Structure 1
Amino acid sequence: MTPQEHQQPRGRLDPTVGKARAMVGALLGLKTTGKNRVVENPPLILVGCSGGPDSLALAAVCAFFARRGEVRVGAVVVDHQMQDGSAEVAQATATQLRGLGLEPVLVRTVDLKHDGVGPEAAARAARFGALEETAREVGAAHVLLGHTLDDQAESVLLGLARGSGTRSLAGMRERRGSYLRPFLGLRREETLAICDALDLEPWHDPSNQDPAYLRVRVRNNVLPFLIDELGPGIAESLARSASILGHDADFLDELAATEYEKLVERGASNGENAGEKGDLGQIWLAEDALRGLAPALRMRVLALAAVELGGVQPSLERLGAAEKLLEREGSAGPVQLAGKVSAYRQPRNQAGPHQGASYGKLVLRRNT
């Protein structure tokens, strides 16, 4: 099917397709109507596409803007190798995307590294790694993801179930770095309608119906129960709460980043200063200064140190265990954080770079 066959007859644009175009256009700063604006070197954007209804609908909507010539649109299909036949699904998806007129369309096969996390987290890490690497290779300005309002509502409920903090309850952001999620205001059923209107053939991932995954149980059991008990607007209410909390979390993250740079002292694995080439193996944080921070900032500062050392975002439980080291009661550690990073309380008679022997420090170290 050619890209022209996907265009709606003039005057007969499907309203859901029009709504989706407006969402994408608003986020990219592009018009959906009027005369095309000639762009000599249009920027390239990539769509992360699994072949499912959400990401396929997003790719088709983005293809409209590519035809207008104001932006180039490509796609990345990530094969996680988690199911038999995944390579064939990835290639079929790539063929359909090329039929929409997207270029380049690249298939990336990844190997999952669990590192103590579950399969979903491992797949997410591998997927984003492949997206980031591909975006750098081709010089893409943005990577667009097809998450919907339903995905956002599920994320908030998962955060509540796990006892997570503000950042987790804030769900996914519409814009974070080079990643854009224009469909966070669109329902999943609307992406299915877009696929139907544009004669697309989405792939339906069987894992999306596997009750072994907590997200699937939230989708198929918890949300329908809440809708029955609280009314049909519960998904929108959860997404609205995520948006409000997102602004709060952004503000706290900015404050924490400022405090972190005031406190952090970086060292190599051997305990010396980290050289100009990096070799970052340890981070020292002054205990007194950490204690003086508000709890919301202190936890974020500890998380920033763990992530800078190459770890993943620690859980609140692990961060709380590291924070208890500041009480100077009981064990001095180490406390194991996610991503092979540990934290311990440095005795006052030991000094790090440029620090006196009486300097009390919390040390985070990358485990080798």
Structure 2
Amino acid sequence: MAAADPVRPGGDWTGPAWAVRAAVRAFRRAHPEVGDDVCVALSGGADSLALTAAAAVEFAVVTALVVDHGLQEGSDAAARDAAAAARGLGASAEVLVVVVDSDGSGPEAAARTARYTALDTARRGRPVLLAHTLDDQAETVLLGLGRGSGAHSLRGMAAWDAPWGRPLLGVRAVDTRDACRDLGLEVWNDPHNTDSSFTRVRLRHEVLPLLEDVLGGGVAEGLARTATLLGVDDDELDRLARAVPVGPDGALEVSRLEPLPAAVLTRVLRHWLRDRGITSPTYAHLTAVAALVTDWRGQGGVAVGGTGPGDAGGAGPSARLVARRRRGKVVVENDRASGAGT
């Protein structure tokens, strides 16, 4: 896979190709902290290839990082071809061979974990540009809606979440494909992108087209706009939540929590539980812990899972963490702690 006519600065950037390049230019202006030396995660598909082409003419130094997951026959050759295409565009390139461990999270999640770990190691302090498009953002929001997620998940992916940059969140996937065609770039089509055993593939090829048909179009743009609007709200709620102090003993004062609106209280508790070692507090956890403040009837502690420091000699690897109301505070203790709250 190589460029039929390598793209050079001052080349014929028109139509969809210009839409991609303009998005990269706008991203760079909006985030000067990204600097002039960037990496691009390149698969060889249309999205990442178009991004690499645009980045090569908008940034001073570009390194394409090509991850070979080894999940299908010929993946090594596809990775080498993608690296060659990047070099033809004026970027340097590295192929990263990873091992995808089956950790029970499913093949999509396991591959994602392996990929991001490899990218984070290879970037060597540089930012990494990812080729997520408006279509990917719409799928992310739709997944969150289906799972009953809150605003933090429904805000989707951020354009800049150091060290990860996503310049193409406002660009449609059809434009990246057309850009590659117009620039003479040969695209690699990943067989996994048409494998209906993957949830996102079914969303992309079945669910979203049906919604577009039923609702008369504009669904992907609407979902992406929802992510943008919720992002603004989410940032403000987080700001308010972070302003609520945690005591030196790691506890929350009930008197400070009681006046808070429910939306802010939930955020305070989520951040607080994560800081205590509960990495993924569920809706049930948050509702039950909030009741220790808003519906206090002398109830017992709330098992929140995970491991953490506790306050009874330190929680070991198998310790269960429990949130309790105790003497006007909400605390997290390991399950060796006992005594009624007040």
**TM-score, structure 1 as length reference:** 0.74
Query: Which residue of 1 is the match for residue 340 of structure 2?
Result: none
How far off its partner does 1:311 sit?
5.6
2:253 & 2:74 partners in 1: Cα distance?
Answer: 52
Of 213-222 and 332-341, deviating more is: 332-341
Pairing partner for 2:323 from 345, 351, 355? 345
1:49-104 superposed Cα distances (whole Å, 9 cap, x missing partner):
222211111011111224xxxx2111222334444544443333223223322125
Greater displacement, 177-186 / 6-15: 6-15
CA deviations over 1:215-238 (Å, ceiling 9, x no partner)? 222211111111111112121121
Report 1:49-198 matches (<5 A).
49-66=42-59, 71-112=60-101, 114=103, 117-135=105-123, 137=124, 139-140=125-126, 142-198=127-183
CA contact (8 A) 2:3 2:184 kept: no
Q: Distance in 1 between matches of 2:277 and 2:92?
A: 33
3-state SS of 1:6 partner = coil
Q: 1:221 aligns with which of 206, 226, 231?
A: 206
Shift of 1:250: 1.3
Identity %: 40
Corresponding residue of 2:14: 14
Structure 2: segments with no counterpart, 5+ residues: 309-316, 335-342
Is the contact between residue 128 and residue 165 of structure 2 (CA under 8 Å) also seen in structure 1?
Answer: yes
After TM superposition, the score normalised by the length of structure 2 is 0.79
Shift of 1:264: 5.3
Structure 1 stretch displaced more, 286-295 or 223-232: 286-295
Q: Does the 8 A contact of 1:145 with 1:181 survive in 2?
A: yes
Partners of 2:134 and 2:172 within 8 A in 1 = yes
Q: What residue ranges of structure 1 are gaps of 5+ in the alignment?
A: 31-41, 267-282, 349-357
**Per-residue deviation at 1:249?**
0.8
RMSD: 3.4
2:246 paired residue number: 263
Which stretch shows the higher mean deviation, 8-17 or 223-232? Answer: 8-17
| Distance in 2 of aligned mates of 1:50 and 1:342 | 42
Does the 8 Å contact 1:94/1:105 carry over to 2? yes
* Aligned equivalents of 1:338, 1:44: Cα separation in 2: 40
1:362 aligns with 331
1:177-196 alpha-carbon deviations (Å, 9 max, x no partner): 33221111111111111121
Deviates more, 1:211-220 or 1:238-247: 211-220
Q: Which runs of 4+ in 1 moved over 6 A?
A: 1-4, 8-11, 338-341
| Structure 2 residue aligned with 1:204 | 189
Residue-pair matches, total: 320
Quick one: which amino acid aligns to residue 345 of structure 1? A
**Aligned partners of 2:150 and 2:323: how far apart in 1?**
25
* Offset of residue 113 of structure 1: 6.8
Identify if the C-alpha distance between structure 1 residues 212 and 51 changes in structure 2 by more than 3 Å, giving closer, same or farther. same
